């Protein structure tokens, strides 16, 4: 399986005058730090890896002998399992460290934990942390690879990549698409990573939230803002619905789940005014009856479970690329 | 012992002097400044091509002693001060315990008498334990030598308490210094509210947290007739409020820290916790407003807000890291390259901001000028000397500076303190 074109191989394709993209980064920290070409390279690799997931024996020897450490400071089921499966499908060894059952609990700092993992000859740390910038900080302190599995409100790059891969599969392109991100934008790393990724690939992005949950200056990232969910849905090719994180809602933007559902919940009623084939995405976990109705979650427009499958493919690509990064010298 | 400084460019705004003069120092005092002093002296310093100024005064320094001697001491901070050309400083009371009574004042004075390499003046607390509730015995604190009172980072949140404190300050003729921060607004913010905070996913500190209290404290000072000094102004709106209040004749003075006119919030983009401070780095328009304020007299002083922190308090997750940076050794250099070299202010104005005005605001006798009979505190600068601020050169016990490895032009080469020469950079003088 050819995953990246060799930069030395002369392409016979006359169209391919573009310089082949080579992955040179030891880490995947955020979509902000990637070029459009690097995003596309991950997506192309993910496509190839997705094929592996369809085989009867879902395993390739690509990362045999490498070890991945899942370092999770925040509870997570989907992302952690997805990374674990991605590593195993690539034949890497996986160890998992959770906050509640490790030295983190005993007061060890993030950098010390990272350095210990490095000393344990881990090759890649996959880190999930409640502090924005934790992955960036860890990568600066270590020589081994760091993959960001979500840091605070900052970024969740593999989530955005799997969202974009799903969109691309469904609609064939990203450029020119209208995508609305609906929900708690202020506290959402999924929103930020999607904004970076989608705008870099040429989509028109709208963020939709109650005023208090729209962070200052977000328009400077090149997105439209609306507080009306009807407005956000109207012309959208796709909507990405965020989980309303009541546990993080310090500003008390909404007193109750019911009220949120009434004003921002995506219902079949509301979708009637949308494009017929509108793609409905959600990073999970879903709160049925809060940010979307059960009918919409299970409906024909929903691609939520396909997103989950694509998550493994995207994470296989991410682990593969950082593990085999060409030294940038 | 006597010292004669010859041929230096003497800048002494208090005496409207700016030219080539000689300075004679005898018994720790300046005894003569004239165009050509021909006199025997114990030591003769050739200050040709050097700038000779009254010693710098930093009115906002955290010495960390008593309580946190692991990150800074009177001995280490005052030596850092000297290498930055600072001959007098005023320290903040946020120590452990806080400097909120006479016996703590005395204890700290005993330490400084023993260990300090430069003059140390003490800013006491406004309230007991800096808790914002019970006002200290101002009369006793003043008698014990407090030059001002401030609750520093714990701004007095209750307006009624602040009003009462200002009344008492007026009665006792003592200056209150206010770190303006409405904590109901700043909450658990870590950097300036705006695009950078949004991008980084960090909690923002709105500028309103600062300027709302600037407005409150100035209003209260106006009503009570007390003097108020606004610490480390960072927001454009604060500058405007102070400018207006000065026009109205309210007894307000203000300071800015070099970091707030040298860096913008974008410096935080790499999550480097050495850019985390309170008030936070603000936007380009705020930086511009501060420079304007320094130029037009709205802001009276430059103070470093030297805030040492240990590695274990800084090299952690951004939102958990301590606020503040060290600044004694870079305060002058940053001011030279960002204000004087950029032609925003003159050398004369710089000396006003860093020596004349702090002495006036804190009412320090015989400091801030090169008048006859003044204390012989003198800083000698080589304005052409280029240098790099390296980690190894830092005299402070803590190394939390965002300016490490920065190249500067203009360096302190010598300091005379109380009539004694301390060579900072021996090869030049």
Residues B324 and B408 in one domain: no
Calculate mean pLDDT across residues B335-340: 98
Q: Is the pLDDT of residue A250 over 80?
A: no
**Given B100, B305, B375, B377, the catalytic residue:** B305
Give the residue from B409, B419, B363, B357 showing the smallest Cα distance to B388. Answer: B409
Is the pLDDT assigned to residue A14 strictly greater than 50? no
Q: Are residues B7 and B129 in the same domain?
A: no
- Pairwise CB contact (< 8 Å): B201 & A221: no
From chain A, pick out residues whose CB is under 8 angstroms from the CB of B199: 32, 192, 217, 221
- Looking at the fold, whether B29 and B141 belong to one and the same domain comes out as no
In this structure, the answer to whether residues B26 and B146 fall within a common structural domain is no
Local confidence band at B425 (pLDDT 50, 70, 90 cut-offs): low
Residue B104 within any structural domain of the chain? yes
Residue of A136, A151, A221 lying closest to B199 (CB–CB): A221
Determine, for residues B198 and A217 on separate chains, whether the beta-carbon distance falls below 8 Å.
Answer: yes
- Write out the DSSP string of A121-135: T-SEEEEEESSTTHH
Residue of A nearest to B202 (CA): A132
Task: Enter the tokens of residue B105.
Answer: 């004042």
Residue B127: pLDDT over 60: yes
- What residues make up the domain containing B380? 2-52+375-423
Both tokens of B154, joined, read 């714990």
Quickly count: other Cβ atoms within 10 Å of residue B410's Cβ. 22
Put simply, the answer to whether B197 touches A221 (Cβ < 8 Å) is no
Query: Can you give the pLDDT at residue A20?
Result: 76
Per-residue confidence at A325, pLDDT binned at 50, 70, 90? very high
Q: Are residues B43 and B90 in the same domain?
A: no
DSSP tally for chain B: helices H, then strands E: 14, 18
**Residue A186: pLDDT over 70:** yes
Q: Are B310 and B407 members of one domain? A: no
> Residue B114 pLDDT more than 60?
yes
**Which of B199, B264, B267 is the best substitution to test chain A (most A C-beta atoms within 10 A)?**
B199
Residue of B nearest to A152 (CA): B201
Contact of B15 with B374, CB cutoff 8 Å: no
Contacts of A152 in chain B (CB under 8 A): 201-202, 319
User: Are B202 and A132 in contact (CB < 8 Å)?
Assistant: yes
Same structural domain for residues B26 and B59? Answer: no
Instruction: Extract the tokens encoding B420.
Output: 């004694």
CA A316/CA B1 separation, integer angstroms: 77
Nearest to A304 by CA among A257, A239, A247: A239
Mutate to test the interface with A, among B317, B319, B322 (most CBs of A within 10 A): B317
Question: Can you give the pLDDT at residue A12?
Answer: 46
- The partner residue sitting opposite A132, judged by closest CB among B193, B200, B316, is B200
For the segment B55-77, the average pLDDT, to the nearest whole number, is: 98
pLDDT grade for B422, boundaries at 50, 70 and 90: confident
- Start-to-end CA span in chain B (Å): 19
**Using one digit for the tens of pLDDT, what is the confidence trace for B234-274?**
999 999 999 999 999 999 999 999 999 999 999 999 999 99
Q: Is A152–B319 a contact, with Cβ atoms under 8 angstroms apart?
A: yes
Neighboring chain A residues of B318 at a CB cutoff of 8 Å: 131-133, 137
Q: Choose among B194, B204, B318: nearest Cβ to A131.
A: B318
Say if A31-155+311-323 and A157-308 have the same CATH topology: yes
Which chain B residue has its CA at the smallest distance from A192's CA?
B199
pLDDT at residue B296 is higher than 50:
yes
Chain A hits for B204, Cβ within 8 Å: 215-216
Q: Check CB contact of A221 with chain B, cutoff 8 Å.
A: yes
Is A157-308 a CATH 3.40.50.1370 domain?
A: yes
- Please tell me whether residues B38 and B147 are part of one structural domain: no
Kindly state whether residue B428 falls inside one of the protein's structural domains: no
Q: Which fold has domain A31-155+311-323?
A: Rossmann fold (3.40.50)
For B134-182, the pLDDT digits (tens) are 999 999 999 999 999 999 999 999 999 999 999 999 999 999 999 999 9
Residue B122: per-residue pLDDT: 98
User: Could you tell me what percent of chain A has a pLDDT over 70?
Assistant: 91
Question: Are residues B85 and B104 both part of a single domain?
Answer: yes
Q: Is residue B337 part of a domain?
A: yes
Same domain, B337 and B402: no
pLDDT at residue number B1: 78
pLDDT band, very low/low/confident/very high, at B423 (cuts 50, 70, 90): confident
B398: domain CATH number is: 2.30.40.10
- pLDDT given at position A217: 93
Determine, yes or no, domain membership for B135. Answer: yes
Pairing of strands B407-417, B204-205: unpaired
Task: Tell me how many domains chain B contains.
Answer: 2
| pLDDT tens string A78-136 | 999 999 999 999 999 999 988 877 666 677 899 999 999 999 999 999 999 999 999 99
Q: Is A32's Cβ below 8 Å from some Cβ in B?
A: yes
Based on the domain organization, do B112 and B225 belong to the same domain?
yes
Q: Where are the domains of chain A?
A: 31-155+311-323, 157-308
- Same domain for B282 and B385, yes or no, is no
- Residue after which a domain boundary falls, among B337, B361, B385: B361
- In this structure, is residue B367 part of a structural domain? no
Q: Do A132 and B271 count as a contact with CB atoms less than 8 A apart? A: yes
As a whole number of angstroms, the distance between CA A107 and CA A104 comes to: 5
Q: Where is average pLDDT lowest: A323-327, B268-272, B332-336?
A: A323-327
Chain B residue nearest residue A31, CA to CA: B199
On the question of pLDDT at A16 being above 90, the answer is no
Q: What percent of chain B has pLDDT over 70?
A: 99
Contact A137/B at CB under 8 A: yes
Last residue of a domain, one of B319, B335, B361: B361
pTM above threshold 0.95: no
For the segment A177-194, the average pLDDT, to the nearest whole number, is: 97
As given in the structure block, the two tokens for residue B426 are 């021996």
Bigger pLDDT: A6 vs A291: A291
Mean pLDDT, rounded, for B11-26: 97
What number is the average pLDDT over the span B214-229?
Answer: 98
Sign of the torsion angle spanned by Cα atoms B170, B176, B178, B182: negative
Q: B286 an active-site residue? A: no
DSSP string, A201-256: TT-EEEEE--GGGS-TTGGGGS-EEES-HHHHHHT-SEEEEPP--GGG-TT---S-
Predicted pLDDT at A246: 74
Q: CA–CA separation, B193 vs B204, rounded Å?
A: 4
Indicate the pLDDT class of residue A8, thresholds 50, 70 and 90: very low
CA distance A130 to chain B (A): 10
Could you give the CA distance from residue B372 to residue A228 in angstroms, rounded to a whole number? 73
Q: At B75, which CATH number?
A: 3.20.20.140
Question: Judging by beta carbons within 10 Å of its beta carbon (0-12, 13-18, 19+), is residue A102 exposed, middle or buried?
Answer: middle
């Amino acid at each position: 399986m050819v995953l990246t074109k060799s930069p030395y191989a002369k392409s016979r394709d006359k169209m391919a005058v573009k310089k082949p993209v080579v992955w040179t980064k030891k880490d995947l920290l955020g979509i902000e730090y990637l070029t459009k070409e690097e995003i596309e390279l991950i997506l192309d690799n993910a496509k190839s890896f997705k094929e592996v997931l369809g085989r009867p024996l879902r395993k390739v020897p690509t990362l045999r002998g490498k070890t991945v450490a899942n370092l999770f400071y925040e509870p997570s089921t989907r992302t952690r399992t997805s990374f674990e499966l991605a590593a195993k499908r690539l034949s890497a060894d996986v160890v998992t460290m959770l906050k509640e059952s490790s030295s983190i609990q005993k007061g060890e700092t993030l950098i010390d934990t990272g350095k210990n993992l490095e000393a344990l000859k881990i090759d890649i740390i996959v880190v999930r942390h409640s502090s924005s910038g934790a992955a960036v900080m860890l990568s600066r302190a270590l020589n081994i690879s760091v993959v960001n599995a979500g840091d605070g409100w900052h970024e969740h790059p593999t989530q955005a990549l799997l969202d974009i891969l799903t969109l691309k599969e469904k609609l064939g392109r990203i450029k020119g698409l209208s995508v609305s991100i609906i929900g708690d934008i202020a506290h959402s790393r999924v929103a930020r990573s999607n904004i970076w990724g989608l705008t870099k690939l040429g989509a028109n992005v709208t963020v939709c939230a109650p005023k208090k949950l729209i962070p200052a200056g977000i328009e400077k990232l090149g997105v439209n803002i609306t507080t009306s969910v009807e407005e956000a849905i109207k012309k959208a090719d796709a909507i990405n619905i965020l989980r309303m994180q009541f546990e993080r809602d310090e500003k008390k933007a909404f007193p109750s789940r019911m009220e949120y559902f009434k004003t921002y919940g995506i219902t079949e009623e509301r979708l009637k005014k949308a494009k017929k084939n509108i793609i409905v995405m959600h990073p999970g976990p879903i709160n049925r009856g809060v940010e979307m109705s059960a009918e919409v979650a299970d409906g024909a427009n929903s691609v939520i479970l396909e997103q989950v499958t694509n998550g493994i493919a995207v994470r296989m690509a991410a682990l593969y690329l950082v593990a085999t990064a060409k030294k940038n010298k | 012992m006597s010292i004669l400084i010859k041929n230096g460019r003497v800048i002494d705004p208090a005496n409207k002097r700016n030219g080539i003069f000689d300075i004679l120092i005898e018994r720790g005092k300046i005894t003569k400044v004239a165009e050509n002093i021909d006199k025997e002296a114990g030591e003769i310093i050739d200050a040709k091509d050097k700038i000779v100024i009254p010693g710098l005064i930093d009115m906002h320094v955290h010495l960390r002693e008593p309580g946190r001697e692991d990150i800074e001491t009177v001995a280490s901070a005052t030596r850092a001060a000297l290498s930055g050309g600072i001959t007098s400083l005023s320290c903040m009371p946020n120590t452990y315990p806080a400097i909120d009574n006479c016996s703590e004042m005395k204890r700290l004075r005993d330490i400084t008498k023993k260990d300090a390499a430069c003059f140390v003046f003490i800013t006491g607390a406004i309230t007991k334990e800096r808790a914002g509730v019970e006002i200290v015995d101002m009369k006793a604190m003043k008698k014990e030598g407090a030059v001002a009172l401030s609750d520093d980072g714990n701004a007095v949140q209750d307006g009624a308490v602040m009003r009462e404190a200002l009344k008492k300050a007026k009665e006792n003729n003592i200056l209150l210094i206010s770190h303006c921060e409405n904590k109901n607004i700043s909450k658990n913010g870590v950097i300036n509210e705006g695009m950078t905070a949004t991008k980084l996913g960090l909690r923002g500190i709105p500028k309103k947290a600062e300027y709302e209290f600037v407005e409150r404290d100035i209003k209260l000072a106006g009503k009570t007739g007390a003097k108020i000094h606004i610490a480390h102004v960072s927001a454009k709106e604060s500058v405007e409020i102070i400018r207006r209040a000065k026009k109205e004749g309210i007894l307000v003075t203000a300071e800015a820290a070099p970091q707030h006119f040298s860096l913008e919030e974008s410096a935080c983009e790499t999550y480097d916790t050495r850019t985390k401070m309170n008030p936070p780095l603000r936007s380009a328009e705020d930086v511009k407003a501060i420079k304007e304020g320094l130029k037009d007299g709205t802001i009276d002083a430059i103070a470093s807000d030297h805030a040492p922190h240990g590695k274990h308090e800084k090299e952690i997750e951004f939102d958990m890291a301590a606020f503040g940076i060290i600044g004694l050794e870079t305060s002058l250099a940053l001011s030279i390259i960002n204000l004087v070299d950029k032609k925003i202010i003159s050398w004369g104005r710089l000396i006003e901001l860093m020596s004349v005005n702090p002495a006036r605001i804190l009412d320090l006798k015989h400091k801030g000028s090169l008048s006859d009979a003044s204390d012989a505190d003198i800083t000698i600068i080589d304005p052409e000397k280029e240098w790099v601020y390296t980690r190894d050169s830092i005299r402070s016990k803590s190394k939390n500076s965002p300016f490490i490895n920065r190249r500067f032009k203009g360096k302190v080469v010598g300091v005379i303190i109380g009539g004694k020469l301390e060579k900072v950079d021996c090869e030049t003088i």
